[in-house]
Amino acid sequence: MMTNPKSRIQDLCSEALAATNPAQIEPILSELRSALHEKIQGEETWMSLCERAAVEQDPKKLLELVSEINRRFQSREQRLTGTSDGKQSAGEHSPTNHRGDSSGS
């Protein structure tokens, strides 16, 4: 079962605080180190994509970077909201209205 990294880290911290001897705490600390490392790596990847997009001059590469950032954002949003279908509410982030065009004018 995949859990929210923040929740997993909090759970492991609680387990570590509840441990009563070194033999109990060592495997918890090992797993906590791993969970923290994974969380930090994910954030660095997210930030590095944004940094690269901010300075990218090639429109095709920029589109690829923005698409990947968007994909990760949607994936994270789905994890946080508990939705799995990725469907949007009507009018929400509509891809046909990015330029502010109003075809009814």
Letter for the amino acid at 21? N
Residue with tokens 């997210």: 46
Q: What tens-digit pLDDT sequence spans the chain (105 residues)?
A: 456 778 889 999 999 999 999 999 999 999 999 888 888 877 768 888 899 999 999 999 999 999 988 988 888 888 788 776 545 444 444 444 444 444 444
Question: To 10 degrees, what angle do helices 22-55 and 59-81 make?
Answer: 140
The pLDDT of residue 72 is 83
pTM, full prediction: 0.45
Structure tokens at 19: 């441990």
Contact status, residue 70 vs residue 44, Cβ threshold 8 Å:
no
